[in-house]
Amino acid sequence: MSDLIVHGGTPLRGRIVPSANKNAVLPILCATLLTKEPVRLRGVPDITDVRRILDIFRTLGSRVEMDFDTGILDVHHLDTRFDEDTDRLPEAMRSSIMLVPPLLTRFGVARIENDVKGCTLGVREIDPHVEVFERFGAAVERVEDALLIRSLRPLIATQHWLDYASVTTTENFVLCAALARGTSTLTNAASEPHVQEFCAFMSAMGARIQGQGTSLLMIDGVEELGGADFTFTEDFHEIVTFLALGAITGGQVEVRNGSPDQFPLIDRTFAKFGVHVRHEGGWSRAETAGRLKVREPFTQNILQKVEAAPWPYLPVDLLPIFVALGVQAEGSMMFWNKVYDGAMGWTSELSRFGAHAFQSDPHRVVTFGGKRLVPATVESPYIIRVAIAMLMLAASIEGRSVIRKAAPIRRAHPRFAENLRALGAKIDWVPGA
Ligand SMILES: CC(=O)N[C@H]1[C@@H](OP(=O)(O)OP(=O)(O)OC[C@H]2O[C@@H](n3ccc(=O)[nH]c3=O)[C@H](O)[C@@H]2O)O[C@H](CO)[C@@H](O)[C@@H]1O
Ligand SMILES: C=C(OP(=O)(O)O)C(=O)O
């Protein structure tokens, strides 16, 4: 089942309890491999990437008890082993690279296949990760189709300054430093909510981390890490997605949100499209007075704009969702992706809906919104949030649309079609052509 059929035009209404954030769940799953004690995780979503990581754990001999109905995972890496000749880490997902530090720490060797790139957002560098492994004393060698990383002795603490605030490189640094001898520091660390949640889990296992949520992390290595019982918080990507779905269809969706403190910039970004977000009593709600409309800037001769960059900027994975709002909102909006070089090409596909989105350079797209849109068959690239942006537009246009190759949604959003149907959407998965 890889295509989505949508009969759009129904205002979506209701309440949603969002799932956990894939980009917190995956590094935390990788981190469990650092301890030989049992770990319990609560709120684990049934998504493709989680299943892939649990499969490799089982292959390596770990005890894995996953109940997707309750979201409770019990994992115990006691008799785990790794054979560099036969064991292969999952491909087509970025997070596999965070299995390297625990494998290195426990077995002195790790191997990552060339295709750990995840969403096709342009260049996804491996070099910042290699530098981190080398800083901790590992040797990295290229073999056919993979990199082999070896460390013949325990990792040793280091000081490092990243070229840019990379999410998974920061997480890999913390994974290496937690059990390395001595105190490690990382400057220009990433601080996204999922990085903070990952650090909270590491601390629950006994890691000694200072500076969570800032660009300077200091980690005192400890002898060993213990077990933990940890509950995931709500995913801000899901919260934004469902609020935006309510707004773009002219309905109203309430989403549970335990962390409204993360939302001031997100709320102001919604407001640029005429969508007003309120947070009350642990729930968030998006209100729209009439049609979506771009708020004109007071400064003359500029375009209203949405800029995405490493936190505390607007997260880049949210950009496609706001592009969908830009296509429906009357007025012009510039979208500026400051992270990826080649992540905006998909916007030309939106012309099938009758949308006008102009890519002015590899980082910038301008939407000329408010045009009359028509239902269409569109094809999603392998980018989770783009499949969602296409679905948002399909849901807002009266008639039958098809989103081909929408399966990447399942990498991050459990029960997505079921959730949408509960809000009144007419949507179904069908096999791809
Ligand atoms: C599993 C996971 O957590 N994936 C997320 C993680 O990927 P990931 O950790 O791979 O993303 P990085 O933060 O490393 O950035 C991705 C790429 O963007 C470029 N870059 C990034 C920042 C910068 O200031 N300059 C720069 O050039 C680099 O080419 C880099 O390789 O963070 C990305 C950026 O928030 C998100 O899109 C991904 O969903
Ligand atoms: C780009 C994403 O994930 P990944 O880095 O795993 O491809 C995402 O979560 O939107």
Ligand located closest to 237 CA: 2
Which token pair is 401? 């649309």
- Is any atom of ligand 2 closer than 6 Å to the C-beta of 33? no
Ligand 2 geometric centre to CA of 382 (Å): 10
Q: Which residues contact 389 (CB under 8 A, 6 or more apart)?
A: 320, 321, 323, 324
In this predicted structure, what is the pLDDT of residue 47?
97
- Ligand 2 within 6 A of CB of 96: no
Per-residue pLDDT of the chain (433 residues; tens, 9 = 90+): 799 999 999 999 999 999 999 999 999 999 999 999 999 999 999 999 999 999 999 999 999 999 999 999 999 999 999 998 888 888 878 899 999 999 999 999 999 887 677 788 887 889 999 999 999 999 999 988 889 999 989 999 999 999 999 999 999 999 999 999 999 999 999 999 999 999 999 999 999 999 999 999 999 999 999 999 999 999 999 999 999 999 999 999 999 999 999 999 999 999 999 999 999 999 999 999 889 999 999 999 999 999 999 999 999 999 999 999 999 999 999 999 999 988 999 999 999 999 999 999 999 999 999 999 999 999 999 999 999 999 999 999 999 999 999 999 999 999 999 999 999 999 999 998 7
Q: Could you tell me the CATH number of the domain that includes residue 324?
A: 3.65.10.10
pLDDT recorded at residue 64: 98
Residue type at 339? V
Asked if residue 100 lies in contact with residue 113, where contact means CB atoms within 8 angstroms, the answer is no
Among 208, 231, 254, the domain-final residue is 231
Residues 196 and 303 in one domain: no
Kindly state whether residues 206 and 238 are assigned to the same domain: no
Which residue is closest in CA terms to ligand 1's atom 2? 23
Same domain, 256 and 199: no
Q: Distance between CA atoms of 19 and 65, rounded to whole angstroms?
A: 19
Whether residue 253 sits in one domain with residue 378: yes
- The residue among 189, 209, 231 that closes a domain is 231
Query: Which residue, of 213, 231, 249, is where some domain finishes?
Result: 231
Q: Looking at the structure, tell me whether residues 284 and 181 fall in a common domain.
A: no
Tell me, what's the ipTM?
0.98
Between CA 110 and CA 244 the distance in angstroms is: 41
Q: Which two tokens stand for residue 13?
A: 């209404």
Boundaries of domain holding 246: 3-19+234-430
Pocket flag, ligand 2, residue 23 (CB < 6 Å): yes
Place of tokens 């070089």: 341
117, 168, 313, 344: which to mutate for ligand 1, most atoms within 8 A of CB? 168
**The pLDDT of residue 290:** 85
Q: Which atom of ligand 2 is nearest to the CA of 124?
A: 5
Ligand 2 neighbourhood includes 22 CB (under 6 angstroms): yes
pLDDT the model gives residue 280: 97
Ligand 2 pocket: which of 49, 115, 119 to mutate (most atoms <8 Å of CB)? 119
Instruction: Give the closest ligand to the alpha carbon of residue 122.
Output: 1
3-state secondary structure of 285: strand
